Chain A
Amino acid sequence: MNVHDKYGPLTFWEKCYLAPIMGGLWLTSEHFFRNLGRHILRAVGIKSRIMGAVTIQYPEFLRPLFPRLRTMHRLTQREDGTPRCVACMMCETICPAKCIYIIADEKLENSQIEKVPESFDIDLGLCIFCGYCVEACPEDAIRMDTGILELSNLSRNGMMLDMRTMLALQPNQDRYVKYDQNGDIVSSEYIKQPLD
């Protein structure tokens, strides 16, 4: 259907322009007075659950994250604390931004694992957060579930993420939406962040 036919030609009443303007003003004023009333009620402490705005006051309040969100990378560990990574170079190969740099090392004492990474660096300044590295990894060695979104640094070198840092990172369960056993969302409240 042609978009232009959707509403048909303007009626005389609509062409007069004044009535539709009044309608528009009514709509915005309705929002204005409803939200103003809610703000006032909250200010005096009545009905403080109803928000007058959808704004999340960001540094003080955080929005909960969904599990599928791709945040800063981390490397997983085996039980003995060594990295799960076997330096197979899959992630480095598939990375479209070419931001993963792995230097492999031979591992002699264990016959099951032949290679380990000597160093594993990710340049977050180049990373596009596509998550291909996580998909490609055969060992579940790299994940993007740290919940860290605030990536900024004063220099390009500061954006480099090395293996030791990534191994130390843990998934931040507090920042994620809570689910119950049926997979329904239990809590998606804003998280109040302690400001230091």
Chain B
Amino acid sequence: MTEGVGTILAKLAFVLVFVLNFGAVLTWVERKQSAVMQDRIGANRASIFGVRLLGLLHALADAVKMFTKESFTPDNAEKGLFKIAPAISVFFALVGFAVIPFGDKLLLGDTVINLQIAPLNVGVLYLFAVAGMAVYGVVLGAWASRNNYALLGGLRASAQMISYEVALGVSIFGCIMIYQTVDLQEIVRWQGHLLGGWLPAWGVLLQPVGFILFLTVGIAETKRIPFDAPEGESEIIGYFLEYSGMGFGMYFLTDFIETVMVSAITVTLFFGGWQVPYLMADGFHFPWGSTAALSNWAVTLLQFISFTLKVMFFLWLQMTIRWTLPRFRYDQIMRLGWKYLLPISLVNILLTGFIILLVK
């Protein structure tokens, strides 16, 4: 039996709530993780009736502040575009999650639910398209502000994101050559088989260079430090300079959602997505021969937990990188993108092709 509209809407709601909550909690993670890394305590004063919850309520306080602040529109701004640009930005950050598989097949009665909102057979291309559109929210917002500094931020954003788009695409060609598919669910299923009978065939083992390139480019796509030239808080404030209230809040949220997005794609392409090592559809099959049968529900739950934990690990890693590395200068970003990342990814494709030929 195929899925009804209700199932699809349920999956949609589930993923949206999941992602938006991750985005909100990331503001807390950012504050607290940076604090713990720097021997500080971090924001812990927001409280409701004396309950502080380790500063988790600061996310709530942020939301209240963003919604109640005046959303200022400059006199000279293009009113319509100015209002809609942050929404475009958030929209393209969110729609990418439609093709991320967060589990295999869930059996509900005689209905088979594919745990992926949109089972597109061109998933990777769709992701590229969405990532390419993400720059529009930024550039439109910057342009509509009619502010020279915002425009500078927008120009930097377009230059940076477009040049990294190229390396982004090229860096995962190697993966696609190995997986022989661009359907993300199929890519994850492919990573379920074992190399030599015992090693899970996760993308990172087959494409280590591709993984490092992709993670670098992905972090550049989130526009956060060390690739924060579009924002450049210390020099030009950036494309959201004229935004206040929830307009700024949406750009702020976009960065965090994109961070979750990059983690999710990295996990899907290189770390086996929802795969748990040795877990097949009917339970564990260990390489030393023993098996442990599990029901479909238990397997699905394990897969979802596995996916979430992997995403959380990459969120942690991205936060660590953001609070460790100093920011690149604009010309350094361009040089890194065009003169190092792109050639290395091209060489990576070439070597992958040779190795595939040799193995066959």
Contacts and interface: CB of A to CB of B under 8 A. Distances in A.
B37 interface: yes
A18 B211 CA distance: 13
A19 interface: no
A39 interface: yes
Given A24-B325, A32-B36, A36-B36, A53 B320 contact: no
B40 A55 contact: yes
A21 interface: yes
Contact of A28 (B35, B40, B323): B323
A31 interface: yes
A30 to B, nearest CB: 9
Interface in B287-325: 320-321, 323-325
B37 A53 contact: no
A57 B41 contact: yes
Of B37, B321, B325, most A-chain CB atoms within 10 Å: B37
Interface residues of B, number: 14
B10 interface: no
Contacts of A54: 39-40
Interface in B23-80: 33, 35-41
A35 B33 CA distance: 10
Given A53-B41, A55-B41, A57-B41, A35 B36 contact: yes
A188 interface: no
Nearest to A35: B36
Contact of A53 (B35, B323, B324, B325): B35
Interface in B183-221: 212
B325 A39 contact: no
Interface string A14-25: 000010010011
A58 B35 CA distance: 16
Nearest to A51: B39
A93 interface: no
A16 to B, nearest CB: 10
Nearest to A27: B324
A31 B36 CA distance: 7
A11 B323 CA distance: 25
Contacts of B37: 28-29, 31-32, 35
A96 interface: no
Contacts of A52: 36, 39, 41
Of A24, A28, A39, A57, most B-chain CB atoms within 10 Å: A28
B36 A39 contact: yes
A21 B40 contact: no
B326 to A, nearest CB: 9
A13 to B, nearest CB: 15
Contacts of B38: 31
A25 B324 contact: yes
A33 to B, nearest CB: 9
Given A18-B212, A32-B33, A24 B324 contact: yes
Nearest to B35: A53
Interface string A30-70: 01100110010000000000001111010000000000000
B41 A29 contact: no
B83 to A, nearest CB: 39
Given A18-B212, A32-B33, A53 B321 contact: no
B214 to A, nearest CB: 14
Contacts of A18: 212
10 tightest Cβ-Cβ pairs between the two chains A and B: A55-B41, A28-B324, A32-B37, A53-B41, A35-B36, A28-B37, A24-B324, A54-B39, A55-B40, A31-B37
30 contacts: A21-B321, A21-B324, A21-B325, A24-B324, A24-B325, A25-B320, A25-B321, A25-B324, A27-B324, A28-B37, A28-B320, A28-B323, A31-B38, A31-B39, A32-B33, A32-B320, A35-B36, A35-B37, A35-B39, A39-B36, A52-B36, A52-B39, A52-B41, A53-B36, A53-B40, A53-B41, A54-B39, A54-B40, A55-B41, A57-B41
Given A31-B36, A36-B36, A53-B39, 8 more contacts: A21-B324, A25-B324, A28-B37, A28-B324, A31-B37, A32-B36, A35-B37, A55-B40
